[in-house]
Amino acid sequence: MVAVTSTAPRQGARKPGGRQALRLVVLIVIVAVVLYPLLWMLGTSVKSQEEIVNNIGLLPERFTPGNYTQGWNNFDLSFGRFFLNSAMVSLLTVVGNAVSCLLAAYAFARLRFRLRGIWFAVMIGTLLLPGHVLIVPQYILFRSLGLVGGEWPYLPLLIPQYLATEAFFVFLMVQFMRGIPRELDEAAKIDGASPYGIFRHVILPLSRPALVTTAIFSFIWTWNDFFRQLVFLSSLEDYTVPVALTLFIDSTSQSAVGPMFAMSVLSLLPVFLFFLAFQRMLVEGINTSGLKG
């Protein structure tokens, strides 16, 4: 970091300004290409059906917010229901991941116990385990327990999240905890704190940044997740937003494009708001976490 900030200005000074300007132009072109699909989605969501076909511009000639109300009420249940379902699943997942992964991470990062090395290696092994491999037997198991399409059909989605199965977050928190000075633990130990006391009074308060990162990514990934929700949710009233959106595809009458886009925009809104609020953290937090330590 220091090396970069100290060399960059010098390099810049050596160079003619033209190269920097060219670089900026290239970047702006790339940004335009990258953002175009999002802007087009936004524009299309407020175009009338006629304009969707004929007006190739980004902006509508006539602003048509009606797509939103039509999309909201397009099915037997309103999208409000699907949004509530999605929000509930996502928030409960956040809680489950935060709690269970933090407990496991504390054990791996700080406590000495038999077979720790082996369990840690197993945890790292599950990092690369594709979820698709487990979906069939998990479905069978949850179904034999009466939990698929049961009283509360979200249990198969939520139970794994309360059992620290997202190895990625466990790993992230272990890495984070390794950065907390051990002297703090030792001091607490000398004061007579048990492993539980150290967790409660030293590790838990200091792990807040890792918890926040976990919570945000947990939310976004669950909100966007489709595969598991598609498999485990079978009746309309239980549908989450991604599953409900696919209902639009089934009814591919051209007239549904505007409403379909309107609901797509709404479904991305929470993720986008998270992005605006936590941009720096999202970009730096998780992606580089595997590289540190």
Partner 1 sequence: MALTTAPGRTGSTRSARPHAPRRGAGRNRHGEGLAGYVFLSPWLIGLMGVTAIPMLLSLYLSFTNYDILTPLSEVEWVGLANYERMFTADPSYWHAVQVTLTFALVAVPLKLAAALGVALLLNRAWRGVGLFRGLFYLPSLLGGSVALAIVWVNMFNRDGAFNSFLAIFGIEGLPWVNDPEWALETLMLLAIWQFGAPMVIFLAGLKQVPGELYEAASVDGANRFRQFWHVTLPMLSPVIFFNLVLETINGFQGFTAAFVLSNGTGGPVDSTLMYTLQLYIAGFTDLEMGYASAMAWVFLIAIALITTIFFSTGRFWVHYSDGER
- Shortest CB 92 distance to partner 1, Å: 15
Give just the sign of the alpha carbon dihedral 3, 178, 129, 95.
negative
Q: Which of 178, 180, 184, 201 binds partner 1 (CB under 8 A)?
A: 178
Site for partner 1 contains 147 (CB under 8 A): no
Residue 173 DSSP one-character state: H
Report 60-99 residues binding partner 1 (CB under 8 A): none
- Shortest CB 197 distance to partner 1, Å: 10
- Shortest CB 245 distance to partner 1, Å: 5
Site for partner 1 contains 235 (CB under 8 A): no
Q: Which is nearer to partner 1, 73 or 279 (CB)?
A: 279
Segment near partner 1 (CB under 8 A), from 6-14, 62-70, 71-79, 207-215? Answer: 6-14
The SS3 call for residue 188 is: helix
Segment near partner 1 (CB under 8 A), from 60-68, 78-86, 111-119, 205-213? Answer: 111-119
- Alpha carbon separation from 13 to 7, 234, 260 (Å, rounded): 10, 62, 51
Q: Which is nearer to partner 1, 28 or 88 (CB)?
A: 28
Q: Which is nearer to partner 1, 35 or 88 (CB)?
A: 35
Report DSSP letters for 209-261, one per residue.
Answer: HHHHHHHHHHHHHHHH--HHHHHH--SGGG--HHHHHHHHHHT--GGGHHHHH
Report 196-225 residues binding partner 1 (CB under 8 A): 196, 199, 220, 223-224
Q: Which of 6, 13, 190, 235 binds partner 1 (CB under 8 A)?
A: 6
CB 168 within 8 A of CB 124: no
- Shortest CB 208 distance to partner 1, Å: 18
Q: Which is nearer to partner 1, 84 or 127 (CB)?
A: 127
Distance CA 231, CA 212 (A): 29
- Shortest CB 54 distance to partner 1, Å: 9
Q: Which of 21, 88, 122, 277 binds partner 1 (CB under 8 A)?
A: 122
Distance CA 248, CA 265 (A): 14
- Shortest CB 112 distance to partner 1, Å: 6
Site for partner 1 contains 253 (CB under 8 A): no
User: Which amino acid belongs to residue 29?
Assistant: V
Task: Tell how far CA 221 is from the center of its chain.
Answer: 3
- Shortest CB 286 distance to partner 1, Å: 9
Buried b (16+ CB within 10 A) or exposed e, 197-211: ebbeebbeeebeebb
- Alpha carbon separation from 56 to 5, 160, 280 (Å, rounded): 44, 46, 34
Q: Tokens at residue 275, please?
A: 């992005």
Tell me how many residues contact partner 1 (CB under 8 A): 118
Q: Which is nearer to partner 1, 77 or 185 (CB)?
A: 185
- Shortest CB 186 distance to partner 1, Å: 13
User: Which runs of E-coded beta strand occur in the chain?
Assistant: none
